[in-house]
Structure 1
Amino acid sequence: MPQKNYSAAQRRQLIIEKLRDGDGAIHVEELSLGFGVSVATVRRDLDRLDRDGLITRTYGGAVLGNVRAEQSLREREVSHAAAKDAIARAAASLVEPGSTVFLDAGTTTGRLSYYLAQIPGLTVLTNGLNALNVFAESDTDVQAIALGGMLRRTNQAMTGSIAETVVRSVYADVAFLGTDCVDAARGISSRTLEQNNLKRLMSAQARRTVILRTLPSSTQTGGRIGRC
């Protein structure tokens, strides 16, 4: 994208074309560099396109078209259940008895809690209510610690300063994270800033980070890392 003095209307049209010609996602920094304008200007362009219903704003960028309203945890639990279970079993095989684990909120990570409950001597710190319920009902010696914080009802996750303070006080062997998308250069991204902050902090406080994600468009029983 050659740098020149585009009008706002021209920039917005080029953004749509770039989304259509690419993989359907774009980042603010990329557009700022390509157009030779400030990040704030690009954000205004994206906000206008979002209001017009042509794109959907995401954390740090945008995707083409309208994205369906976020599904509840219960809705997502029954979606691609076989793939999520396969991912969870594979993830559990990475955990040694006696380990300390960060377990992110989510459906695939929630499924992982069933397998973690079978591993002796674990300490699991989680912000997911579904995982906490699994540990509460299991007859094992897993020490489950709730991170606390503000409850986000849609995905039953606890986030915020309280959860972050607890995470900062621990160094874990492994962090299992769920995410809405993964970008090789920019890392993981979720729907809220609070969730992103907690995920990055979990990763920073763990010796190893494992991202668990299925692709909605996949028809196979396995999972993989997806792109934003």
Structure 2
Amino acid sequence: MTQQQRLNVVLELVSERGSVSIAEVSDALGVSTATVRRDLNTLSDQRLVTRTHGGASALGSGYELPLQYKIARQAEAKVAIARAVSDLIAPGDSVGLNGGTTTSEVARMLGRSERLRGGADAAGVTIVTNALNIAYEMSVREHIKIVVTGGVPRRQSYELVGPLVAASLRDFSIDIAVLGVDGLSGTFGATTLHEGEAEASREIAAVSRRLVIAADATKLGRSTFARICPLSRIDVLVTDQPVSRELAGEFDAAGVEVIVAPAS
């Protein structure tokens, strides 16, 4: 296991538990306590954790992993979800994407799709996004037209946020918005950790005729700090596992179509 892989695992443990001890990390990774100390010091120097006596803790109750450390989490599920989402897109469609690892996979799937290259009467796909990483990665795809919103970037997620997002979307009409979320529940609907990202996602949804939520099973039945929209605003949920009976009832009552795309 490389150091980067170890750091990913340590950050996931801190995110899940709030704090970890050197012994816990050593057992989880199968490495020496000296190696764990060096890794924790590295993360502390990068201001990703708070170093404590005998371990490390999250920076706060709203702890959010930086995007580059989320990439390996639920990877197979996100690829399966992205494949199912791409099937909902037709050549010539305009697609709104917010930031995140799942929507990044959606963008990659659209970029690789031969079906969406279009033809004489269709011009590929237009992606409208506030995510700088998606815009950068898709800019080399000939059949993808990229439109980037205005805004101020968040280093944590590479997303543009602030009033310039809404200002730049004001005159757009998007066929389908695909949003990644941190939580999806019957009570609070779609939620995320940061209020600025929630507002940007709302603005993308507001100019879209159809709203798809792309979320793996770990996001379902939970809510996080900032609300994006209620369930009633969502048209389709694409996830990787069958939902519970209770959630299925709430989605059905709100008119949300559920598509399950199990990871292979």
User: Would the TM-score normalized by the shorter structure come out above 0.5?
Assistant: yes
Change (3 A) 1:67 1:132: same
Alpha-carbon distance in structure 1 between the residues aligned to 2:172 and 2:96: 9
Q: Pick from 160, 163, 173: which aligns with 1:161?
A: 163
- 2:131–2:158 CA contact under 8 A, matched in 1: yes
Q: Pick from 170, 173, 183: which aligns with 2:172?
A: 170
Aligned residues: 159
1:200 aligns with 2:202: yes
Alpha-carbon distance in structure 2 between the residues aligned to 1:225 and 1:107: 21
Q: Pick from 117, 132, 135: which aligns with 2:135?
A: 132
Q: Which amino acid counterpart does residue 82 of structure 1 have in structure 2?
A: E
- 1:127–1:157 CA contact under 8 A, matched in 2: yes
- 1:103–1:177 CA contact under 8 A, matched in 2: yes
1:122 aligns with 2:125: yes
SS of 1:131's equivalent in the other structure is: helix
Q: Which amino acid counterpart does residue 98 of structure 1 have in structure 2?
A: G
- 2:166–2:200 CA contact under 8 A, matched in 1: yes
Q: Percent identity?
A: 28
Spell out, residue by residue over 1:16-61, the C-alpha distance to the aligned partner (whole angstroms, 9 max, x if none): xxxxxxxxxxxxxxxxxxxxxxxxxxxxxxxxxxxxxxxxxxxxxx
Alpha-carbon distance in structure 1 between the residues aligned to 2:242 and 2:168: 30
Q: Gapped runs of 5+ residues in structure 1? A: 1-65
Match runs of 1:62-211 below 5 Å: 67=61, 69-117=63-111, 118=113, 119-120=116-117, 121-138=124-141, 140-211=142-213
- 2:139–2:145 CA contact under 8 A, matched in 1: no
SS of 2:172's equivalent in the other structure is: coil
- 1:213–1:224 CA contact under 8 A, matched in 2: no
RMSD of aligned alpha carbons: 2.4
Alpha-carbon distance in structure 1 between the residues aligned to 2:89 and 2:194: 29
SS of 1:211's equivalent in the other structure is: strand
- 1:148–1:163 CA contact under 8 A, matched in 2: yes
Change (3 A) 1:93 1:112: same
Deviation at 1:217, TM superposition (A): 8.3
